[in-house]
Structure 1
Amino acid sequence: MINCLIVEDEPLAAELLKSYIEKVPDLKLAAHCSSAVDAFGALQRQQVDLMFLDIRMPRLTGLELLKTLQHPPPVIMTTAYRDYAVESYDYDVLDYLVKPIQFDRFLKAIGKYYQRQSAQTPVAQPTPDSFEQAYLFFRVDREQQKVWLKDILYIEGLGDYVKIFTATGPIVTYERLSYLEEKLPEEHFLRVHKSYIICMDKVQSFTGSAVKVSGKQIPVGRMYKDRLERFGR
């Protein structure tokens, strides 16, 4: 889970953020602080993966809080004022949300968090002669989980997420199927549908409309049919 800290002195704005966090399965509210001073203490006491930080607060502003933190967590700024947008980006914040915050805009900001985490994910680039030793790391909850490519059966795309089915069970991670299509070695993996990539080594049988992998019938899209036919030659 992604532990979130809300730093917000307006009760209604804080409750709205809490309700949004509850709607996203990967997010968990770690704490709500009504002042930047309280937030400073909370950051010392517990693990925070993402901070929603209001700018204009009494005693200490959100930007002043950031100045005091040597290693702040990823930050999404929240404010009723647009004036601070340029200054806030000097602190490498993920996004700048203007109140009242709409849920779709909130989700877009969360997407930027996932993108940054994905960009920081270590990747072992596979080569054709080292497939048995090749692996990728995927973010699962707060961990980077190693997945051996030889263990992958197939991958299902779920919008901004993918579900990777392996010999030891499935994992779900925030990644797009198109990204994995580029990363996975084409000698072993084939996209057969807009929502599926298969490991060709694990194919049990196939027709023009479906592929059987580990007992699962996976549909073949019309635009991908030629790829599968070339594989079968």
Structure 2
Amino acid sequence: MKIRTLIVDDEPHAMEIIRRYAAHIPEIEIVGTCSNAIEAFQTIQHNNIDLVFLDIKMPRLLGTDLVRSLKTPPLIIFTTAYQEYAIEGFDLNAIDYLLKPIPLKRFLQAIDKVMHFLNGDGKRGAAQQDAEAPAQQAPDHFLYLRIERRLIKVNTRDILWIESIKDYIKVVTKDKIFQTKQKISVTEKLLPTGEFMRIHRSFIIPLNKMEGYHPNHLLVAGNVIPIGRNYKQVCAEKFNPGTEIL
């Protein structure tokens, strides 16, 4: 089996590293390279491409925007020097996300994920099977947090609350507390719709863990979480309908 592979990067040196690594894998066939996302769009449209090593931050069009523009994108491995794009990359269902400079070990791990997927037992394949199966339970949803140069995967079902501390957020679960540099407004958009609620400029809570309501605070998993002044009315409408906060 040959995996027809395209490399998209505006840095020739980065392209050459992937070419050199790919030479160790007989299944990987490099069928082309592109220096920008627009050129890559045309190449993907007119060729049978199985896998794309895709840089994210490129002139004219971001790699993430390229993926969004494709109705049926090939397998994607994002490659970038900018770790802040990691969450967006995983939200686009990428096979993997490689942070430059790319070590050979991480490259091989990414290829292993591709092989598993093509053999029918990878993560994307499992997600597709779940979608086709009868709906019994909503699929797990995850936050991906960059902590000490690693991506930590947190199941949103385990979250007790999220707290903002300046430019950082603290994600509190029953067993652990995770802290990472990220704005709470960005985190709010990444949470599953209808399952979480912003009750303060510095706090987001999961609705299913709310145990008690007071006009000034909520009880969440036994913890008192304050309600911000600008959020009191919407909280009253949610948790004590018919009341009005003056």
Residue 22 of structure 1 and its aligned partner are, at CA, apart by: 1.3
Provide, for residues 99-156 of structure 1, a one-character-per-residue CA deviation record: whole Å limited to 9, x for no partner: 000111100000001111122699xxxxxxxxxxxxxxxxxxxxxxxxxxxxxxxxxx
Provide, for residues 167-214 of structure 1, a one-character-per-residue CA deviation record: whole Å limited to 9, x for no partner: xxxxxxxxxxxxxxxxxxxxxxxxxxxxxxxxxxxxxxxxxxxxxxxx
Residue 64 of structure 1 and its aligned partner are, at CA, apart by: 0.6
Partner SS for 1:86: helix
- Separation in 2, partners of 1:45, 1:91: 22
Is structure 2 residue 80 aligned with structure 1 residue 92?
Answer: no
Q: Which runs of 4+ in 1 moved over 3 A?
A: none
Provide, for residues 52-100 of structure 1, a one-character-per-residue CA deviation record: whole Å limited to 9, x for no partner: 0000000000001011000000100000011011111111000000000
Is structure 2 residue 109 aligned with structure 1 residue 108?
Answer: yes
- Separation in 2, partners of 1:77, 1:39: 14
- Where do 5+ consecutive residues of structure 2 fail to align? 126-246
- State the AA in 2 paired with 1:61: L
Query: Percent identity over the alignment?
Result: 43
TM-score by length of 1: 0.51
Hey, what does 1:11 align to over in structure 2? 12
Hey, what does 2:40 align to over in structure 1? 39
Partner SS for 1:84: helix
Is structure 2 residue 72 aligned with structure 1 residue 71?
Answer: yes
- Separation in 2, partners of 1:28, 1:116: 17
- State the AA in 2 paired with 1:35: N
- Separation in 2, partners of 1:56, 1:115: 28
Residue 25 of structure 1 and its aligned partner are, at CA, apart by: 0.7
- Separation in 1, partners of 2:109, 2:94: 14
Give the alignment of 1:178-189 within 5 angstroms.
Answer: none
TM-score by length of 2: 0.48
Partner SS for 1:23: coil
Structure 1 vs Structure 2 CA RMSD: 1.5
- Where do 5+ consecutive residues of structure 1 fail to align? 123-233
Partner SS for 1:4: strand
Hey, what does 1:140 align to over in structure 2? none
Aligned length: 122
Partner SS for 2:23: helix
